[in-house]
Structure 1
């Protein structure tokens, strides 16, 4: 095998693995309604977050809580996940 083939294989594997690691908490479309600004730095009030949560489909709620309960997936979203747990997001 030549080096070019090996490099292309490694690149392809990393692209596939990288997209597999991205979850619903990494989708701006899903997360934006919980924040007051486009940069998604400031979360909405508890009451507003609860309203957004209740309007979400059960499928999306389940996916978010699954990721929030996964230590590795939730680490970059720790503040958001803590807020969702505090609001009873897992019991919606």
Structure 2
């Protein structure tokens, strides 16, 4: 019985912490408007990037900007964050 409870507790903890680690930059729904393809390899032009940013709710904009300013969070999204700071950073 104790092993079962320990296992269930560990599994629940890992699920909760996994959700906490995923940020706005890791959600495809947030990132898709900035890319031309479904694989999210090719970013849109400057004008389209700015338009996608302008159409995004302010709370999502704030989350994305915050994550881009965090070196650890932005590392996998370096090119995107560079464009975000350049094109949309001035709001």
TM-score, structure 2 length as denominator? Answer: 0.88
Partner of 1:17: 17
Matched, 1:90 2:89: yes
Gaps in structure 2 of 5+ consecutive residues: none
**How many residues are treated as equivalent by the alignment?**
91
Partner of 1:72: 72
Q: CA deviation at 1:13?
A: 0.6
Gaps in structure 1 of 5+ consecutive residues: none
Whole-angstrom CA distance in 1 between matches of 2:43 and 2:28: 13
Deviation track 1:10-55 (CA, whole Å, cap 9, x = no partner) reads: 1111110000111111111111010000111111111210111112
RMSD after superposition: 1.4
TM-score, structure 1 length as denominator? Answer: 0.88
* Residue pairs, 1:35-54, within 5 angstroms: 35-54=35-54
Whole-angstrom CA distance in 2 between matches of 1:21 and 1:36: 26
